[in-house]
Amino acid sequence: MTETTTTPMMPAWRRETYGPADGFRLEQIPVPVPRRGEVVLRVEATSLNAGDVRLMLGDPLLVRPIYGLTKPKHPVRGMEVVGTVVAVGPQAIGAELGERVVGELVGGGGLASHVAVPASRLVPIRPDVTAEAAACLPVAGGTAWQALDLAGIGIRSDRRSDRRSDRSPDRVPDRRSDGTPGHRSGTASAGAVRDAARVQRVLILGASGGVGTFAVQLAALRGAEVWATCGERNARLVEHLGAVRTLDHRRSPLAELPAAHFDAVIDIAGGVGLRELQNLVAPGGTVVLVTGDGGPVLGPIPRMLKAALLSIGSSRRIRPCAASPRPEILAKLLELVSEGRLTPVIEREYPFEEGAAALAHVEAGHTVGKVVVRGA
Ligand SMILES: NC(=O)c1ccc[n+]([C@@H]2O[C@H](COP(=O)([O-])OP(=O)(O)OC[C@H]3O[C@@H](n4cnc5c(N)ncnc54)[C@H](OP(=O)(O)O)[C@@H]3O)[C@@H](O)[C@H]2O)c1
């Protein structure tokens, strides 16, 4: 008698070729088996990013040698995932069977019922944080955090403190006992006024999307005075998140701003010349480039090279941000969400059966906060 074994199958949204969201199909594929250092998650939620759109289109061409020369190596999109560990591979240290975790995926895979992920990228989720909220954090929240670190926001500098006497003392930086940057508003004591004289002013370009909504909240939590660009329809939201002033990006607002007005500019939107951005920061300030925008072949690379050239010998540095998976940052973001100090903005949640529609939503380029797809 011959013994037959059947491979367990699972549903996944796939597109074998590079192209738009309407080419994704719901197919049955084998459930992954965890390799060394990996676990398999039963997916509870995944969230989508502008980066998913770039990878599904293979745009710019520069990404194709890494992500698949003629077709995507990862035909399933979704880079941020929340799920329960259902299988543990050899030497997968740190994640246990049955544990509920969140993490960033290698290349994609979240738009499926199961996904394999290195255990080292995962962080356990507290019961008081929803799967949908946690799924927004790894890429979007992590990028915003790393961009603010690069900009030096929340990192005190006495070097630049002397020229702040013109700043309003209405927002007073505070340090929590655990060292997490924070702020409190209200009337300041004499000592606090001295502190307020060091409030950093940051301009966030592209504040209404996934990275932007986190950047505004985190910059405010770090005690910065946040100015932001967004569409008129999103101004109220961005102000609610912590911006003291919003500028409509469709009305070329940057020309109206005085030179050297900011300690940092964080460009998540693109489309503004580097010299113009550099002129907005004060000496000692930093421009951080987060946007992946650029030409169809080399993407942001020429802009990054120009940034390096413009930074040579300048006291106003332009620094590209290439965010990487950082579980220790993810853990801090989860803590802030659990404490109610950080709220992921979710524009829309889709059921798993509408995965392609969720991708099309993000592809349209007008997402407010995040788009989340619930597990199968
Ligand atoms: N460097 C890195 O490591 C890294 C990591 C993650 C993401 N990124 C890049 O960061 C960018 C944002 O990613 P995301 O996932 O947050 O995007 P997203 O959520 O899709 O961003 C969409 C939002 O951007 C707004 N927007 C578009 N053009 C704008 C402009 N010129 N000025 C102001 N707002 C504008 C849109 O507002 P309207 O509806 O008003 O147009 C929309 O609300 C992308 O270029 C992505 O590739 C880089």
pLDDT tens readout for residues 278-297: 999 999 999 999 997 889 99
Reduced to 3 states (helix: H, G, I; strand: E, B; else coil), residue 139 is helix
Q: How far, in Å, CA of 137 to CA of 201, rounded?
A: 24
> What's the pLDDT score for residue 83?
98
Q: Is the pLDDT of residue 307 over 70?
A: yes
Average pLDDT over residues 63-80: 95
Query: Which segments of the chain belong to CATH 3.40.50.720?
Result: 142-320
CA of 269 to the centre of ligand 1 (A): 5
Domain with CATH 3.90.180.10 in the chain: 9-136+344-374
Query: Quick check: 207 and 238 in contact, CB under 8 A?
Result: yes
| Tally of CA atoms within 13 A in the half-sphere of 178 that contains its CB | 5
pLDDT of residue 178: 35
- Tell how many helices (H) and how many strands (E) occur in the chain: 11, 17
**The domain at 9-136+344-374 falls in which architecture?**
Alpha-Beta Complex (3.90)
Using N-to-C axis directions, what is the helix angle for 142-151 and 210-221, rounded to 10°? 50
pLDDT interval class at 95 (50, 70, 90): confident
In this model, does residue 148 exceed pLDDT 50?
Answer: yes
Higher-confidence residue of 256 and 174: namely: 256
Would you state the pLDDT for residue 106? Answer: 82
Confidence of residue 188 (pLDDT cuts 50, 70, 90): very low
Asked if residue 206 lies in contact with residue 217, where contact means CB atoms within 8 angstroms, the answer is no
- Residue 39 and residue 119 in contact, taking contact as beta carbons nearer than 8 Å: yes
CATH number corresponding to 142-320: 3.40.50.720
Q: Six-digit token pair at 89?
A: 């591979």
Lowest mean pLDDT of 88-97, 145-154, 181-190, 216-225, name the range. Answer: 181-190
Mean pLDDT of 155-168: 42
Task: Tell me the CA–centroid distance for residue 117 and ligand 1, in Å.
Answer: 26
DSSP bridge pairs for 43:
83
> Percent of the chain scored above 90 by pLDDT?
84
Cα(49) to ligand 1 centroid in Å equals 9
Average pLDDT of the residues in 238-263? 94
Confidence class of residue 2 from pLDDT cuts 50, 70 and 90?
low
CB-based contacts of 328, cutoff 8 Å, min separation 6: none
Instruction: Give the per-residue pLDDT at 3.
Output: 60
Ligand 1-lining residues (CB < 6 angstroms): 49-51, 54, 139-140, 143, 205-206, 208-212, 229-231, 249, 268-269, 271, 290-293, 321-323, 362, 365-368
